[in-house]
């Protein structure tokens, strides 16, 4: 009897541990497209298309290698468990083999399905990552506080990446102070090479047509679809980034600019999260660019920190803290997500830009996610679970192990300080400093009350007033809280009244579980 090798949509790696010791002559690879994965949160079309197109290309790559693929195209089964049950009944495998899923709930469902079907299931370590959940748990054990910086230094030492004579290359672990540039008044250099586009081939065009038809009411568009959907294209995308944008990545990694979705970012997250691209290859290419004088150390360290540091760290947190993590709500935030998160239709220019490009491409860069969409939801007091569902639905790179700690922890402070040592709160002035969004906006980031008051600035002060007693316990908030003392009782009342009006105006009725807001 064959063994059934389960390959999920984010496990598209021919070198995966799932294939170790397996034999194309005897064993069968199982893959399934199921509607539930696109509808359990209201996926944007680009995310569905990236997953389906990449899966179908991977099916072809497997067949070329001689594998028999038991592939369930969308429409046959509603859930993964249904599709798996059908295959087990027809193929009668002796055993199921898989690499650990990227979502706690999916892993649990497949394990219970295997038990119910009375087939042994072997779950293997995902060697795509450089740190296993067990190694992370060891790092975390006995520490009062977890901090990414210490984990990252350990990873540098363990892997030898950017190390020289047992110390960090350039004598510093961290070049963050060099990496906070803005584009000033001129904006980014428009002559730079735009990122390489990957025009849809026949397989991808079929997927696009399918998504347009089957998921017609889902948010977003596919007219600009150009994501890499194979391992070879992912390598080309990496090469393009290393040659054309890495050198400026560090300096401008936090900056934002109107109608410029990519700037100096790599666009490699989806390729890596679907396992089409090995993070070791990405890290090595960046390090080589520095060693051969093609990119400055600050940029290369800043980039490697994201992958060797943050990416591994959030995965460690996820497996350490699930399943309870997803329901944490430290600040007791219970507002509904404003409807405009699903349409981009708002007069706040920064949000309209960040959400607009998110729906169009399934992409926004880190600071847009953290300090525009995430910041507004935090200040507004949206329930972190709803914020989590939105982020899981709208980005092409969204897989729960990476999305959840970033959203619930880093951006919403829902875990009370595990991911971030303090809430990432700021007024509209931060957005004004880091972008040119405010120049095209009807609001004024310097004003917290009155008809031109920027809703971010109003809600920022309101947030500090609301949570002052709790935030006072956090040393790192003292500077921000000190400014509160300058507000008179009258000003406080005005801010609170203006914040109430902002909430009334934004409303949450368009929440996708209720009425579809378009």
Rank residues 300 and 438 by Cβ distance to ligand FAD and give the closer one: 300
Cβ–Cβ under 8 Å, residues 31 and 251: no
What are all long-range contacts of 185-191, with beta carbons under 8 Å and residues at least 24 apart? 185/436, 187/257, 187/260, 187/436, 188/252, 188/255, 188/257, 188/260, 188/263, 188/264
Cβ–Cβ under 8 Å, residues 94 and 72: no
Give residues 241-300 in contact with ligand FAD (rule: CB under 6 A): 265-269, 272-273
Identify the residue among 348, 392, 418, 425 touching ligand SF4 (CB under 6 A). Answer: 348
Rank residues 81 and 375 by Cβ distance to ligand FAD and give the closer one: 375
42 binds, among ligand FAD, ligand SF4, none (CB under 5 to 8 A by kind): none
Element (H, E) at 31: strand 28-32
Shortest Å distance, C-beta 368 to ligand SF4: 12
Query: Is 340 one of the binding residues for ligand SF4 (CB under 6 A)?
Result: no
Instruction: Name residue, tokens 């450089």.
Output: 130
Provide the 8-state DSSP code for 277.
Answer: S
Give residues 385-414 in contact with ligand FAD (rule: CB under 6 A): 391, 395, 397-398, 402-403, 406-407, 410-411
Total residues in contact with ligand SF4, by rule CB under 6 A: 14
Helix, strand and coil content of the chain, in percent to the nearest 5, comes to 50, 5, 40
Site string for ligand SF4, 8-37 (x = CB under 6 A): ------------------------------
Q: How far is CA 258 from CA 253, 316, 394, 475, in A?
A: 15, 35, 20, 35
Rank residues 275 and 369 by Cβ distance to ligand FAD and give the closer one: 369
67 binds, among ligand SF4, ligand FAD, none (CB under 5 to 8 A by kind): none
Q: Is 231 exposed, middle or buried (0-12, 13-18, 19+ CB in 10 A)?
A: buried
Q: In this structure, what token pair is assigned to residue 463? A: 């947030």
Rank residues 397 and 415 by Cβ distance to ligand FAD and give the closer one: 397
Query: Is 233 one of the binding residues for ligand FAD (CB under 6 A)?
Result: no
Segment interacting with ligand SF4, rule: CB under 6 A, options 40-48, 211-219, 414-422, 448-456: 448-456
Give the C-alpha separation, 228 to 270, whole Å: 9
How many angstroms from the chain centroid is the CA of residue 85?
Answer: 31
Query: Is 463 one of the binding residues for ligand SF4 (CB under 6 A)?
Result: no
Segment interacting with ligand SF4, rule: CB under 6 A, options 66-74, 127-135, 279-287, 346-354: 346-354
Query: Is 234 one of the binding residues for ligand FAD (CB under 6 A)?
Result: no
Query: Is 43 one of the binding residues for ligand FAD (CB under 6 A)?
Result: no
Rank residues 75 and 450 by Cβ distance to ligand SF4 and give the closer one: 450
Rank residues 173 and 430 by Cβ distance to ligand SF4 and give the closer one: 430
Shortest Å distance, C-beta 429 to ligand FAD: 20
Task: Tell me how crowded residue 230 is: count the other CB atoms within 10 A of its CB.
Answer: 21
Cβ–Cβ under 8 Å, residues 483 and 313: no
Shortest Å distance, C-beta 350 to ligand SF4: 3
Q: Which residues are 188's β-sheet partners?
A: none
Residues in the chain, how many? 518
Reduced to 3 states, what is the DSSP secondary structure of residue 228? coil
Give residues 324-383 in contact with ligand FAD (rule: CB under 6 A): 365-366, 369-370, 374
Q: Which residues contact 489 (CB under 8 A, 6 or more apart)?
A: none
Q: Does the bond joining 323 to the residue before it have cis omega, within 30 degrees of 0? A: yes
The contact set with ligand FAD (CB under 6 A) reads: 265-269, 272-273, 303, 306-307, 310-311, 314, 365-366, 369-370, 374, 391, 395, 397-398, 402-403, 406-407, 410-411
Q: Which residues make up the interface to ligand SF4 (CB under 6 A)? A: 348-350, 428, 431-432, 437-438, 441, 443, 445, 454-456
């Amino acid at each position: 009897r064959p063994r059934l090798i389960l390959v999920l949509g984010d496990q598209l790696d021919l070198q995966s541990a799932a294939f170790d010791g397996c034999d194309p002559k005897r064993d069968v690879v199982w893959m399934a497209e199921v509607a539930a994965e696109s509808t359990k949160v209201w996926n944007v079309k680009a995310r569905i298309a990236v997953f389906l197109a990449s899966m179908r290309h991977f099916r072809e790559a497997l067949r070329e290698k001689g594998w028999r693929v038991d592939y369930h195209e969308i429409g046959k089964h509603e859930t993964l468990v249904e599709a798996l049950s059908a295959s087990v009944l027809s193929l009668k495998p002796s055993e199921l083999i898989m690499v650990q899923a990227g979502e706690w709930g999916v892993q649990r469902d497949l394990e219970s399905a295997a038990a119910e079907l009375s087939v042994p299931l072997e779950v293997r370590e995902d060697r795509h990552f450089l740190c296993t959940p067990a190694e992370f748990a060891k790092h975390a054990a006995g520490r009062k506080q977890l901090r990414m910086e210490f984990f990252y230094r350990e990873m540098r030492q363990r892997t030898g990446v950017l190390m020289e004579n047992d110390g960090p290359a350039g004598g510093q672990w961290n070049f963050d102070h060099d990496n906070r540039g803005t584009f000033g008044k001129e904006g980014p250099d428009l002559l730079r090479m735009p990122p390489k586009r990957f025009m849809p081939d026949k397989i991808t065009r079929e997927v696009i047509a399918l998504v347009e038809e089957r998921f017609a009411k889902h948010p977003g568009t596919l007219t600009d679809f150009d994501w890499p959907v194979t391992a070879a294209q992912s390598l080309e995308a990496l090469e393009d980034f290393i040659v054309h944008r890495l050198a400026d990545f560090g300096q401008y990694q936090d900056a934002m600019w109107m109608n410029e979705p990519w700037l100096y970012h790599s666009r490699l997250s989806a390729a890596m999260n679907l396992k089409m691209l090995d993070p070791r290859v990405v890290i090595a290419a960046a390090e080589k660019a520095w060693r051969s004088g093609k990119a400055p150390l600050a940029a290369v360290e800043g980039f490697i920190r994201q992958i060797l540091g943050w990416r591994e760290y959030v995965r460690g947190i996820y497996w350490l803290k699930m399943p309870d993590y997803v329901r944490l709500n430290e600040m007791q935030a219970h507002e509904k997500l404003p409807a405009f998160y699903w349409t981009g239709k708002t007069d706040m220019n920064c949000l309209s830009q960040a959400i607009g490009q998110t729906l169009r491409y399934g992409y926004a860069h880190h600071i847009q996610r953290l300090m525009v969409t995430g910041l507004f939801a935090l200040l507004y007091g949206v329930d972190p679970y709803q914020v989590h569902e939105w982020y899981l639905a709208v980005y092409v790179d969204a897989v729960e192990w990476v999305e959840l700690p970033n959203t619930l922890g880093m951006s919403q402070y829902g875990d009370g300080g595990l991911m971030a040592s303090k809430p990432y709160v700021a007024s509209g002035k931060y957005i004004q400093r880091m972008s040119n969004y405010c120049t095209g906006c009807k609001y004024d980031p310097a004003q917290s009350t009155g008809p031109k008051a920027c809703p971010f600035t109003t809600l920022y002060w309101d947030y500090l007033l609301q949570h002052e007693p709790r935030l006072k316990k956090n040393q790192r908030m003292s500077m921000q809280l000190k400014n509160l003392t300058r507000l008179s009782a009258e000003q406080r009342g005005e801010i609170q009244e203006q914040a109430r009006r902002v909430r009334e105006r934004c409303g949450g009725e368009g929440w996708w579980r209720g009425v579809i807001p378009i």
